[in-house]
Structure 1
């Protein structure tokens, strides 16, 4: 069974969720979120942000890629 953790996403399109649940690993360097016809990529920062009384790691939007057809 895999453990999961929540992360805060900053930047990118406004309709991308601001909190995302991802598989727990020591330090995930990047997460990607399926959005429309592509992926929004977010990179880990050294920041944490409080969300509902818990401090979560912050990931900053860095670029978008498109799905190849």
Structure 2
């Protein structure tokens, strides 16, 4: 698992997230998913560097 920082998107999402797929982050939320893509930037958190991901779009679960 890789820890990343989430930027943008809904304000109720956690800023830090752990993901198995560092190419694209998909966060489940309210019958859908918030999608984040890597920015190429890193921030320092607790003395280590963490990749920053920016919100790109939302999808809903099909019923």
| Cα distance between partner residues in 1 of 2:29 and 2:13 | 7
Measure how far apart 1:36 and its partner are.
Answer: 0.8
Which consecutive aligned stretches of 4+ in structure 1 deviate over 6 angstroms post-superposition?
none
Cα offset for 1:52? 1.5
Return 5+ residue gaps in structure 1 as ranges. none
The DSSP-based 3-state class of the residue aligned with 1:47 is strand
In the alignment, structure 1 residue 51 sits paired with structure 2 residue 55: no
Task: Choose from 26, 30, 35 the match for 1:41.
Answer: 35
Q: Look up the SS of the partner of 1:17 in the other structure.
A: coil
Name the residue aligned to 1:17: 14
Q: What residue in structure 2 maps to residue 64 of structure 1?
A: 58
In structure 2, stretches of 5+ residues that fail to align are none
SS for the counterpart of 2:33 is strand
* Structural RMSD (CA): 1.2
Aligned residues: 63
Bigger Rg, structure 1 or 2: 1
